[in-house]
Amino acid sequence: MKKNSIFNESEMNEMGLDLSRLSRTQPRNYLVKRLKNVEKESEKKQRIYQYQKIFLSAIEDIKNLDWDDLIIKEESKDNFWFYFPKEIDKKLRSSWSLKNSRLNYRDDMLDKRFNLFLILSVNRKFPYNIELYMESDRNRTHFPGGLPEWLLGLGLGVKVYRKLLNKVGYIQSTDSASDDVKKLYSILIQMEDVNCAVTKDSTLVIEKSLPKDRKAAILGEYILELYKLKYPRKIQLNKEIILDSYLIRELGVNKVVKFLDEIFLYNKKIGRKAFSSIDFGQFPIDDEQ
């Protein structure tokens, strides 16, 4: 029985091919093998692109992620690790398995972000570690490693800081912070669900949902440290320190002004360390001392 050819004789002639000559110079199943190889390559590409499709879906989820959905774990007193919700984590791990597959792929076949995601895998370990630590008591934040490069540009950094703020109640930054951290703080203080105090050298951000007395205690410690480190004279409200309007209304402008004066005197007489865990928020003034 005669086998079916991929091309009939007339089509081969139109292509300028001599069928009899080809049959003498090539294996009879050459074209069939060639076609199968092409199909296999196409199938490999489709599998690679499927991994990429899952990854890009996870990226869209991260863009739309609410800060409150991030998972935070306190590894030690001052070290915190951040993780994505289970659904996003599952997608990332699924797409990352391309790294351990036997599929050969070229870098130029992949989306740039997906390629970075795979390249930054170290010793085949899952490549996202988001770690942030703080100085004890003062809650000054440090983000030394920053975000992995494949997570940049997604608005994730500010969500990490917002989640941390919710966990610890207040965070602060100084003028020695990196430009990226300063940018994050500038975004944070514009959020409606936070309070803040700002000087030319530092920024304090407070969780808005905290009780009024707790906010006053945190602000007091912040002011005490300002007197210790930067200001030999009384700090003037709205000139050397600016508070957000909600916090001013909540505490009362007259009380804040009095607070600045009292802590100035307290620092002159007592001289204790700011953000002391023992005397936190306590500023008794004894005029007879």
Alpha-carbon dihedral angle through residues 74, 76, 78, 80, given to the nearest 10 degrees: -30
- pTM of the predicted structure, to 2 decimals: 0.80
Q: Can you name the residues that pair with 207 across neighbouring β-strands?
A: 194
Mean pLDDT of 109-138: 78
What is the model's pLDDT at position 289? 37
Q: Is the model more confident about 67 or about 286?
A: 67
What is the model's pLDDT at position 24? 55
